[in-house]
Amino acid sequence: MTKLYRRGYPVAILVGIEQDHAALWQIFSQVAKQQQNVPINGPRTDQKAAYLFYETIVNALRPTFKEGVKSIIIASPSKTNYAQEFLNHVKAHHSWLFQGANKATFNLIVGSASSPTQVAVLTKTDAFKQLISQTTAEETENLLEIFEKRLSQTDNLVRFSLEEAENLILYQQPEGKPQAEYLLLTTNYLKGIRQKNRLHRLIQIAQNKGIKTRVIDSDSAPGKRLTQFGGIVCLAKIV
């Protein structure tokens, strides 16, 4: 639980692409944490080496997609097109990341993100902060679409309180009944709740079970919409 407090909540993934490797970083609301380095095995001009390099990056991103973090910022040094080349590969070979419930948001920024010092400098720039806001806003709009769609269905796929979320997440649900898929809460709900240990325990268990957990800015349009329902929502699906 203490790690959750120190880092804050997950915001995005930063992929820093250099000539011979890529560095992946988890961007939390308080800190950036290095995830892993991905080397390129061969020259960039080797199409096979480049293909395998990009595929390895995508595979490294999959666990965070499953956790519900689908805001991706791709950085590469000035006067290079490494970031655009990777994005072109994703668009060509992973169309599933641009449609339906799997939809992710990708944005590009100029800069190096290979070392902790470089990431610290980059994340403090106004351009990066603006891009984070833009990217996460696009992602939360996608989540709001899912919320509104399930809200209109008649299968009781939306729960609106901490207690209802706990009942859905903590306890095994019978086959054919709604199963928790997303836990969404606003920044104001996270900040204002008195039972913080209880909430963070639920978040941790949800993440351990593969339930996608996202904290949404209360001042955003999706955040204001969730605030109308108390600031915490658990979305379910029937599998």
| Residue 133: CB atoms within 10 Å | 13
Task: Kindly report the backbone phi and psi dihedral angles of residue 24, in degrees, each rounded to the nearest multiple of 5, phi listed first.
Answer: -105, 135
Classified as helix, coil or strand, 183 is strand
119 plus 58 within the same structural domain: yes
21 plus 126 within the same structural domain: yes
CATH number of the CATH domain containing 27 = 3.30.420.60
Predicted local distance difference test score (pLDDT) of residue 9:
73
**Per-residue buried b or exposed e for 41-60, using 16+ beta carbons within 10 Å of the residue's own CB:** eeeeeeeeebeebbebbbeb
The verdict on residue 165 lying in a domain is: yes
| 3-class DSSP string for 29-88 | CCCEEEEEEEECCCCCCCHHHHHHHHHHHHHHHHHHHHHCCCEEEEEECCCCCHHHHHHH
**For residue 2, pLDDT beyond 70:** no
Predicted local distance difference test score (pLDDT) of residue 228:
93
Could you give the percent of the chain with pLDDT greater than 70?
Answer: 96
Task: Kindly report the backbone phi and psi dihedral angles of residue 26, in degrees, each rounded to the nearest multiple of 5, phi listed first.
Answer: -90, 120
Q: Which residues contact 48 (CB under 8 A, 6 or more apart)?
A: 42
Residue found under tokens 């790690």:
3
pLDDT digits (tens, 9 = 90+) for 210-236: 888 888 888 888 889 999 999 999 999
Give the integer Cα–Cα distance in Å for 218 and 227: 7
131 plus 216 within the same structural domain: no
The last residue of one of the domains, among 141, 165, 187, is: 141
Give bridge partners of residue 236 from the DSSP assignment: 180
What pLDDT band is residue 66 in, cutting at 50, 70 and 90?
confident
Mean pLDDT taken over the chain:
88
Contact 12, 72 (CB under 8 A): yes
115 plus 43 within the same structural domain: yes
The verdict on residue 87 lying in a domain is: yes
123 plus 223 within the same structural domain: no
| Global pTM value | 0.73
Structural domain harbouring 101 = 2-141
CATH number of the CATH domain containing 198 = 3.30.1330.30
pLDDT digits (tens, 9 = 90+) for 85-129: 999 999 999 999 988 767 888 999 999 999 999 999 999 999 998
**For residue 136, pLDDT beyond 80:** no
**Number of structural domains in the chain:** 2
92 plus 189 within the same structural domain: no
124 plus 44 within the same structural domain: yes
**Considering only 85-89, 132-136, 185-189, which range has the smallest mean pLDDT?**
132-136
Predicted local distance difference test score (pLDDT) of residue 117:
95
Predicted local distance difference test score (pLDDT) of residue 143:
83
Q: How many residues comprise the chain?
A: 239
Contact 111, 122 (CB under 8 A): yes
The last residue of one of the domains, among 78, 111, 141, is: 141
Q: Which residues contact 97 (CB under 8 A, 6 or more apart)?
A: 65, 90, 103, 104
